[in-house]
Amino acid sequence: MSKTYFTEDHEWIRVEGETATVGITDYAQDQLGDLVFVELPEVGKSLSKGDTAVVVESVKAASDVYAPVDGEVTEVNEALVSDPSLVNSAPMGDGWLWKMKLSDESQLGNLMDEDAYKASIA
């Protein structure tokens, strides 16, 4: 069973067991506009909550995507190298950015659920 959390910086994190998949929300991709480049982290990189993990560049601007929790990058979405627009078309699906192994599951308690996130952007 998976559970999805959200950050104030418009990242989502879907947790399944010890693995978490991270991406940006539909709201974030809508604000950025069409993505033209995604700079992914290296597999094996350790991230601390708040670290810049990914840089996304759109026709409007470049933006940092932050690690929502501490962990180690276990996989990156290689499809985004050739097709960054996947983030625009399916930000919560095929447009995921990276997967990580959680270091401290208790940090998830500081994140929002979907209802709280929707209220924060309303």
Report pLDDT for 71.
98
Give domain limits for the chain. Answer: 2-108
> pTM (2 decimals)?
0.96
Q: Which residues of 31-49 are buried (b: 16+ CB within 10 A; e: fewer)?
A: ebeebeebbbbeeebebeb
**Domain 2-108 belongs in CATH node 2.40.160.40:** no
The 3-state secondary structure of 43-99 reads CCCEECCCCEEEEEEECCCEEEEECCCCEEEEEECCHHHHCCCHHHHCCCCCCCCEE
Give the pLDDT of the chain (122 residues) as one tens digit per residue.
Answer: 899 999 999 999 999 998 999 999 999 999 999 999 999 999 999 999 999 999 999 998 899 999 999 999 999 999 999 999 999 999 999 999 999 999 999 999 999 999 999 999 99
Pair 107, 2: CB distance under 8 Å: no
